[in-house]
Homo-oligomer: A and B are copies of this chain.
Amino acid sequence: MRIALAQLNYHIGDFENNIAQIKSAIRKAKELPADVVVFSELAVCGYPPRDFLEFDDFISSCHKAILSIAEECRDIAVIVGAPSVNPSDKGKPLYNSAYFLADGKIRSVFHKTLLPNYDVFDEYRYFEPNRLPYAVVEYKKYKFAVTICEDLWNIADDPLYVRNPMDELIQLNPDLVINIAASPFHYDQPAIRKDILVKNAVKYKLPFFYLNHVGGQTELLFDGGSMVIDPQGNVFDEMKYFEEDLQVYNLNDFDYKDKNENRKDAKAQSKIELIHDALVMGICDYFGKMELKTAILGLSGGIDSAVTLVLAAKALGCDNVRAILLPSRFSSEHSKQDAVELADRLNVRHDIIAIDEAFGALEDTLKPYFKDLPFNLAEENMQARARAVILMALSNKFGYILLNTSNKSEAAVGYGTLYGDMCGGISVLGDLYKTQVYELAEYINRKKEIIPQNTITKPPSAELRPGQKDSDSLPEYDVLDRILYGYIELRKGPNELIREGFDPVLVKRVLRLVNTSEYKRYQTPPILRVSPKAFGTGRRMPIVGKYLS
């Protein structure tokens, strides 16, 4: 029994493209050869299709896709994910299903039982959980247990669901388990996922074939890393991260051995390397799937725009990125130098467009109303917004997409200008705390200095008034980021954080800043997600809420 895993990059709702990719992989799998080829969860429509699932037209396109793929299934079987219609008049209208296709037909359909509905997941919004008796499908004398993503995840001590599908499936004596998934990346996810799969293999003493999506879908990044676990719980093989891949595995290679000589070492990338690769893929796929080519960004000489520029140049090519320096009367000479130096090193076109004339005209226009009121946040924000207007004008005129360069620390405490530096089509670093942005800069410079050292070592400043430093308004980032991580990623309340030794006044101030900035974050671009708790669809907070604020 030779099983091929096809780890592909789908485009949500682009049936023509998705079907073509799947059929091409079926042909390749036949050549390898393989008896069965496996595609991921909801492969035919891409993941997550969100409310497109509420359109009959969309569901009917999914079904047509399955029938069209089935026609290719001669001398090979296919396991592929798609929504299917719940025939009962009770419950939600759809299932999240895995189709087993063989001999040109649909042989079996299996439905997902455990529907994730937390963080970025909304599967109960669309799907009815499986309530039917479980079944296996027999093909070429092997019994396949076909499961879908979360179905294997209820193995922890504190299970999120009351049912565990594998406990029921194991009664049917399957020979192997297939798991088709759409498991989005965050920096801890590859290790967690491997642990879950190993636990399953050890508990059920079966080989597990796990197949994940790869590619970016706006903010959600799928890392691939599909894998095969042998019945002893060893990782037999791990497929590529952040790239498409197609591999075939012979069940006999490990099925009858005690020791596993074929076992490859699992890839062990560092977290920061994973984050780097995820962000580059995220930019690349956002532009590719939006059918866009070129990016623009404001290059300030600071660390955030520098790291964003490096990643964008890597993802899109240096000819497809344009950097604009937008100095004002408050910009320092070193900022301009650092920015120009970076653009030159990367071979990226840069222009210097001073904002003084536009800012001056805005000041003039408002003079009759502002009179002699002191220069304050209003004027600071006006500079950031004048920059945004210029960048967006270039974007509109020449078809560039503006990259947002904000980081997660700023976004958390609202240290940014709405409709100013918070603009952009996609936020590249919005899920990295400032201290992680530095870590990423060091990683980028690991072999040679790409980002000027001065950008890394100088104190961060928005340069919106003379001598301004971030630390004038905010705690030092190493303390701030640890409080933010505790509150945002770990959902610790004020008392827990204070018990850990943080200053009570500071904790309350930071939590208040986070909660009273929801209105700003509501209007910011989608953020490439690399952490277990990113701002955006995975974190839903009331705007008018008054908790801890």
Candidate in A90, A289, A377 with the most chain B CB atoms within 10 angstroms: A90
By the criterion CB–CB under 8 Å, are B378 and A91 in contact? no
Distance in angstroms between the alpha carbons of A354 and B362 in the assembled complex? 11
- Specify which of B162, B366, B548 is in contact with A393 (CB 8 Å cutoff): B366
By the criterion CB–CB under 8 Å, are A365 and B357 in contact? yes
Q: Is A446 an interface residue (CB 8 A)?
A: no
By the criterion CB–CB under 8 Å, are A389 and B397 in contact? no
By the criterion CB–CB under 8 Å, are B373 and A397 in contact? yes
A81 to chain B, nearest CB (A): 16
Q: Is A144 an interface residue (CB 8 A)?
A: no
Q: Is A213 an interface residue (CB 8 A)?
A: no
| A57-B493, A397-B370, A542-B48 as given contacts; A392 in contact with B419, CB under 8 Å | yes
By the criterion CB–CB under 8 Å, are A542 and B12 in contact? yes
A54 to chain B, nearest CB (A): 5
Mask, A333-354, CB within 8 Å of B = 1, is 0000000000000000001011
* A:348-386 near B, CB below 8 Å: 351, 353-355, 357-358, 360-362, 364-366, 369-370, 373, 376-379, 381-382, 385-386
Closest to A289 in B: B544
A424 to chain B, nearest CB (A): 9
| A50-B541, A366-B393, A522-B526 as given contacts; A546 in contact with B57, CB under 8 Å | no
By the criterion CB–CB under 8 Å, are B542 and A58 in contact? no
* A:501-549 near B, CB below 8 Å: 519, 522-526, 537, 539-549
Mask, A44-62, CB within 8 Å of B = 1, is 0010111110111110000
Distance in angstroms between the alpha carbons of A261 and B358 in the assembled complex? 72
A370 to chain B, nearest CB (A): 6
Q: Is A89 an interface residue (CB 8 A)?
A: yes
This chain: how many copies in the complex?
Answer: 2
Closest to A11 in B: B546
A214 to chain B, nearest CB (A): 15
Distance in angstroms between the alpha carbons of A540 and B373 in the assembled complex? 44
Residue count of chain A within 8 Å CB distance of chain B: 99
Closest to A523 in B: B523
A126 to chain B, nearest CB (A): 9
A16 to chain B, nearest CB (A): 9
Residues from chain B with Cβ under 8 Å of A425 in the complex: 519
Which one, A99-107, A153-161, A248-256, A306-314, is touching chain B? A153-161
Residues from chain B with Cβ under 8 Å of A14 in the complex: 546-547
By the criterion CB–CB under 8 Å, are A495 and B57 in contact? yes
* A:20-54 near B, CB below 8 Å: 46, 48-52, 54
By the criterion CB–CB under 8 Å, are A546 and B362 in contact? no
| A13-B542, A160-B92, A522-B526 as given contacts; A362 in contact with B419, CB under 8 Å | no
By the criterion CB–CB under 8 Å, are A419 and B57 in contact? no
A134 to chain B, nearest CB (A): 18
Distance in angstroms between the alpha carbons of A344 and B285 in the assembled complex? 52
Q: Is A110 an interface residue (CB 8 A)?
A: no
By the criterion CB–CB under 8 Å, are A162 and B58 in contact? no
Residues from chain B with Cβ under 8 Å of A115 in the complex: 124
Q: Is A394 an interface residue (CB 8 A)?
A: yes
By the criterion CB–CB under 8 Å, are B373 and A90 in contact? no
A540 to chain B, nearest CB (A): 5
Closest to A494 in B: B57
Candidate in A49, A289, A351, A396 with the most chain B CB atoms within 10 angstroms: A396
* A:76-124 near B, CB below 8 Å: 89-92, 115, 117-118, 122, 124
* A:289-318 near B, CB below 8 Å: 289-290
By the criterion CB–CB under 8 Å, are B12 and A544 in contact? yes
Given A56-B491, A57-B492, A523-B525, 8 more A-B residue pairs with CB atoms under 8 Å apart are A13-B546, A52-B542, A55-B493, A361-B362, A370-B393, A382-B396, A392-B418, A419-B423
A-B pairs with lowest CB-CB distance, top 3: A57-B493, A13-B547, A361-B361
Q: Pick 20 A–B contacts, CB within 8 A, sort by A.
A: A12-B542, A13-B545, A13-B547, A14-B547, A17-B546, A49-B542, A50-B542, A51-B541, A52-B542, A55-B491, A117-B125, A125-B540, A353-B369, A354-B365, A362-B386, A369-B394, A378-B394, A386-B389, A392-B419, A537-B540
